[in-house]
A and B are shown apart, each in its own frame.
Chain A
Amino acid sequence: MFSQHFHFRYINSHKRVEGGQQIVTYNYSFRGKTNKRYIVLAELHPHNIYAVKFYLQEHKSCAKKYQRLTSIGEGSRIITTLANIIKVLYAKDDTSSFAFYGMHSEGEPKGETKRYRLYARILENLVSSVFFQHEKSAKNSAYLLLNRKYNDPDLLKKVEAMFKELYEGVL
């Protein structure tokens, strides 16, 4: 488990301004074992925080694309693929931090979602605390990996403020 991943490729990047903040989105894609294509968006926020999101390309136009469950059964390989994308981003800039949000499925409450429980378990087992400060919020289904090399003691405060502004209802 968590050793095999799908081959992924970089597509493009684009910038946008949201809530007075510049966000650069790096797009990646990979195909699963059923040849279905997944799109991965790595959004680079101020203070070098990446928020990584992914969805099935066939759900691209769906408003709830991040909430849909595929039921294909390739979760561990998808997560390992995302981890490898994160490693690529970390290799580009070793002061990057990462934020994860466990989106609730339809009908599921927003707090301590099953996606959050999975992400938290994986991050606690597979990311060491030597390079990242682990912060978790079960109530908000959010998990932060704050890079210890980032030279700003107020990083956590800024991340909280940023997400409150950008993602209404997350915090």
Chain B
Amino acid sequence: MLSLQHTYNNTWVVDATARVLGSLSNLQKRRYRSLSGYAFLVLLVVALYGLSLPLFLLRKPFAKRFSKLDPNRVFNNPDVYVKYKKRLAQMHRYSPSMEDIAAITAKHRVWYLAFPLKEFQFASKLMLAYRDGMQAMLDKYNSRQFQSESTEFSFVTEKELWENRNHAYDYWM
């Protein structure tokens, strides 16, 4: 069944999705028997289609742009690096929600919600792949590019530098 045990973070998309999915869960159990309940169901379905249509339209261009990213040229200046790091931190926070949505199986989809749920799933899987791709690009900075057998110098990883820095300062280089 749809799981709502995780706490969703404060973004309107994730929050809205959680509320909608929660409502769907109740609807599937046929708790709403009155006319107002069915009217709410109609509104809910319309809202879901409204949310999923932009996802459908933007999914392919986003996937195409992401596939064309050159790992060696993504971080072409410090500001871009900072922007991606912040974005990646956000992605890690939303990962539980996205993994929940990506794990919804076909048997849990009712016919009138097949399209929106499918779109939410595609979007979640794409965002999870984007997260993993960005993390892989950054992970290469956590190993030494220039090697030495000597122990005179110790390597400072990108992760260590990011965690220990004062984020009030802008990078010089």
Contact = CB atoms under 8 A, between A and B. Distances in A.
Interface of A: 1-2, 83, 86-87, 90, 124-137, 139-140, 142, 144, 146, 148, 152-157, 160, 171
Interface string B151-173: 01111111001101110011111
A133 B173 contact: no
Contacts of B164: 124
B148 A156 contact: yes
Contact of A160 (B150, B161, B171): B150
Most B CB within 10 A of own CB, among A2, A129, A155: A129
B59 to A, nearest CB: 29
Contacts of A90: 173
Interface of B: 75, 78, 81, 141, 144-150, 152-158, 161-162, 164-166, 169-173
Nearest to B143: A133
Contacts of B147: 153-154, 156-157
A130 B78 contact: yes
Contacts of A132: 173
B144 A133 contact: yes
Contact of A128 (B78, B149, B152, B154): B78
Contacts of A135: 153-156
A133 B148 CA distance: 13
Contacts of B153: 135-137, 142, 144, 156, 160
A1 B162 CA distance: 19
A141 to B, nearest CB: 12
Contact of A136 (B81, B150, B156, B158): B156
Contacts of A130: 75, 78, 81, 141, 158
B171 A153 contact: no
Nearest to B74: A130
Most A CB within 10 A of own CB, among B78, B156, B164: B156
